Each structure stands twice: as structure tokens, then as C-alpha cells.
Structure 1
Amino acid sequence: MANALLIIDMQVGLYDGPQKPFERARVLDTINLLTQRARAAHAPIFVARHTGPAGSPIEAGSPFWQLWPGLEVDEARDYLFNKTRPSCFLGTDLAERLAAANVDELVIVGMKTQFCVDTTCRVAVELGFSVVLPEDGHTCMDTPALSAKAIIDHHNATLAGAFVKQVKAVDVWRSAVATAD
């Protein structure tokens, strides 16, 4: 179904900060399932870390900047990169790396739904990529205006069709799992 996985901002400071993401354990399990399926399909895995300026809680190298330890990422074979904007493309070499790997379709998962996930989905389409958004593979926190569930539901509905193919995570790389068994 797709030929690369992009995991966004699954970092200690966001995942385990003072406000916990909606259904965080389930979303982590979902992302790890997709990581396993991507490996079975021989699909490359790209992992974005949001990097704040010097002195911020998520500055490069800080404890909160690190990837969540339960995330099944292999730094030796997966491509980890840093970003400073909501888009995983702006100011990074992600588009070039995807082109070099002959990727034309991305499965996008991670945090936060209304910021980096939304922006990256929209920019990816503008750059010519097809995007698969597992409706159960991204999360965020409650805000004063909306619950995290409402934000996720809204973005799934808004992005579906015009920007992304919306699916359940269990349906991504299903054939790769069947042939690996």
C-alpha cells in the first residue's frame, strides 16, 4: 500500500510531558506495529524530532528532545532527522532523501495532530507525495477549546480525501505481513 513510514515527534518531552497525549499507550503500540510492518515490507522509516532553540526544553541533546524509549526505532538503519518547524520538509533534507529512496507514498504517524501531523500531510501532497494517514496512528493533547479526541476526529475528517487516504493502521502493509508469516 505504501512505501515509507514517517514518524513525527514521538519525543520524551511531548509524549511524557505534563499534559499526556490522548490514548498515548495505544498510539505508541500502533506506531510500533507500523514500524514492524514497514520492516517486513522493506520500507524505509524516517523519524522526525522537533528541535527547539538553545535553552528550550527540547533543544538538541536535552533529555526531553530524545525519542520516547518505547518507540521501536533503530538509529543504525532508520533515518532520524531534526526539524524546527511544523513541516517535516521545511529546512530539512527529507524530500531529497525520499526521492533518493524512490518513495512516492508516505504513511504519516505521530504527534501532534493539529500541528506537525496536519502540516506535514498537507506539504507532502503539495510536493507530489501520496499520503496515507492511519486514523489511529496520531495523537495530541486536550486544549482549552477542544478535547484531543475532537481534534483528532476533526483532522481525520478534514484531511481525508483531499489530502490523505485515511485508513486503519491494521490495514497498512497487510500483504507484507501475510507474506512474512
Structure 2
Amino acid sequence: MKRALLIVDVQNDYFPGGKMELHNSLAASRNINEVLADCRGNSLPVIHVQHIATRPGATFFLPGTPGAEFHENVMPTADEKIFVKHYPNSFRETGLHEHLAEQQITSLIIVGMMTHMCIDTTVRAAFDLGYECLVVEDCCATKTLKFHDKEISAEDVHVAFLAALNRVFAKVITTQELAAQP
């Protein structure tokens, strides 16, 4: 089993001052930075996914804007692969699956943003493609959602989506639990 770190959409628009600020994005990015350092130190492949909006009416991750750039806490190095996506699913029309197959990667550590959208969609797609998935819960961030007249806090959204992924689609763990793995 060959494992890689998949970092999804850790881009400036999700941080304070950005066009789609998420709850706990800064804390999540610090944890991602820790996981990233460990993966680099252990020579695990690192793959970055960058969402560039192409949908008419999009308000964030617009092409050529600072908000679409990677956040400083998770900047790719020259030898790390970057895939640009235009949909929540990191595999859709990106070549990610083909790259992973070429590298014989069968297990993914998945971190990034937004828990309820791109993380959820990417994890489910990865599972359907046969990958073993680990999602690092404190390396993900999301936002408060509204449905009809109800407001669901970011904390509740985060926990609900991770609970739905856990066991069947992925094993959901913490940064500390990941660091304790051999």
C-alpha cells in the first residue's frame, strides 16, 4: 500500500479577509502544515488541489485573483504535484486518478476545505475508485449553513459530514492520531 497526502482547496478566499471565510480555517491550516511537514519528512508524495471557479456568477476562487492562490501555510514545493479543478470532486476532469494509478498510490490522507462540499465529494469519489481514505478532522474547515429557516452551525456541519464519512468511506482521525501511526 502506497500512501499520499491530498490537500484540497487550502486557498486564500477561505481565510480571514477572503471572499468565503470558513470557521476555523486558520487552525485547520496550521494542522495541515504539521501533517505536511511530517509527510515531506517521511518522503510521502504530496498532492495539492486548487479550485479555480469557472461557473458563471462565481464569487470566489476567481481566476488570477489572490483569493484563488494557495494559503501561505500550505504552499506547494516545486516537486509536488498540483491539480486544478473546477468542480467539488477533485477527481472530476483533473487527471488525479490517472496520476495516482501511475504512482501506484492506493491510500490517501485527505485534508482541506470545505468539509461539507469538496472534502465530502472527494472522499466519496476516492472510495468509489477504490482508495483507502484517511480524513484528518482537525485539518478540515467548513462554514455555517442555512436550510429553509434553520441555521446549522459550522461545528455541527463539520461533525455531521465527518460522521457520515467515517467507517464506510474513510477512517476519520485527528492530527495527533495520524502522527502516532507507524
Fold match by TM threshold 0.5: yes
CA RMSD, 1 decimal: 2.0
- Partner of 1:124, secondary structure, is helix
The answer as to 2:171 corresponding to 1:153 is: no
Deviation of 1:136 after TM superposition, in Å, equals 1.2
How far apart, CA to CA, are the structure 2 residues paired with 1:2 and 1:154?
29
Work out which structure has the larger RCO, using CA pairs closer than 8 Å and 6 or more positions apart in sequence.
Answer: 1
- Partner of 2:110, secondary structure, is strand
The answer as to 2:10 corresponding to 1:4 is: no
How far apart, CA to CA, are the structure 1 residues paired with 2:25 and 2:86?
23
**Equivalent position of 2:97 in the other structure:** 95
1:85–1:19: structure 2 CA closer, same or farther, 3 Å change rule? closer
Deviation of 1:14 after TM superposition, in Å, equals 2.2
**Equivalent position of 1:77 in the other structure:** 79
Residue type of the alignment partner of 1:21: L
**Equivalent position of 2:28 in the other structure:** 27
List aligned pairs for 1:122-137, cutoff 5 A.
Answer: 122-137=124-139
Residue type of the alignment partner of 2:93: G
How far apart, CA to CA, are the structure 2 residues paired with 1:51 and 1:91?
13
- Partner of 2:73, secondary structure, is coil
**Equivalent position of 1:169 in the other structure:** 175
- Partner of 1:137, secondary structure, is strand
Q: Deviations over 1:87-125 (max 9, x none)?
A: 000001101111111110001111001110000000000
TM-score by length of 1: 0.88
How far apart, CA to CA, are the structure 1 residues paired with 2:55 and 2:154?
29
More strand by percentage: 2
List aligned pairs for 1:11-22, cutoff 5 A.
Answer: 11-16=11-16, 17-22=18-23
